[in-house]
Amino acid sequence: MRTIVIIPGDGIGPEITDATVEMLKSLNLPIDFEYHTMGANALEATGELIPQETIDAIAKYEIALKGPVTTPIGGGFRSVNVTLRRHFDLFANIRPIRGFGKVPRRYDKVDLIIFRENTEDLYAGIEEQISEDEAHSIKVITAKGSRRIAKAAFEYALAHNKEKVTVVTKANIMKLTDGLFLESARKVAIQYPGIALEEILVDHMAMELVLDPSKYGIILTENLYGDILSDLGAGLIGGLGLAPGANMGKDVAVFEAVHGSAPDIAGKDLANPTALFLSAAMLLDHMKYYKEAQAITTCCNLVLSQPSNFTRDLGGKLGTKEYTKIFIKRLREVLNA
């Protein structure tokens, strides 16, 4: 029996997490669930944004499914997500961007996966107040961090018979930091002679994705650029409600939706759980439950092929609970086919 740490989070987090656990339980796999807190709710209950018992549980079981969390604004609080990633050295943030069913989108063929370095760059949070009128944020890029995310991207390309990895930087301006990331990617690419390395600047990449995302498959980039491009990518497929994510380290893996906690719709049965469903599919794939992982992805496509199944964010009328009920029924049909 394998145990998954469940972190419901804040805002709509508990609703979509409950829906996802219900969906996972319907698969009848030999997995158990252990609940822990993190974020604003945890701060209110325990005085800590990330309680030590939550850290201990993730370290023990090495796998977690996390709902969106809220970091209080002000008061010197650092991002919960950034802190968690740095604590467990979750260096690879993997974000698939794929269109599903008949969800309204500008392009039919969108199938991207972003490999975003997850622990360095400006998100390291190294800042200093120079004066009342000046503040500095220090960008940190290391060869080690750059090489390992590049290797992750190329290993994925190799395993999935992809012919190209596109590395995205701003190395023409930030010649030392982005230059180091780019040079590290080039060195890794030499080890994979059958896979081409395409180099592109981040501003040009943003334009290219809007013009024709079908030209790209695997995007390798730094922390900040990856965060921005993955949100742009979500806009190409119908919104953040369809965007899953994984945070991978050497031993620990944490899976979460890309979107935030949306406190304005919390508790109203309005949230779309699809992104967390897809994150759970990535989790099952990581656990080698390949059949069930693929079934969830297939089910997303089938359910969203009927506009009557759309949630409010997609222009439909279904709430979280009814959508989950329909999804689980269809998932069983897929698995029994």
Name the residue among 84, 81, 56, 85 with its Cα closest to residue 69: 81
Residue 311, helix vs strand vs coil: strand
Using left for φ > 0, alpha for ψ between -120 and 50, and beta otherwise, residue 226 falls in alpha
Q: Please, where are the H alpha helices in 38-142?
A: 40-46, 52-61, 80-87
Torsion of CA 90, 95, 96, 102, to 10 degrees: 140
Active centre residues (catalytic) = 123, 170, 203, 227
Task: Tell me the backbone φ, ψ of residue 176, rounded to 5 degrees.
Answer: -85, -55
Q: Which structure tokens are listed for 118?
A: 């997850």
Interior angle at CA 262, CA 261 and CA 265, nearest 5? 130
Distance CA 292, CA 283 (A): 10
Residue 262, helix vs strand vs coil: coil
Q: Which structure tokens are listed for 178?
A: 């982005």
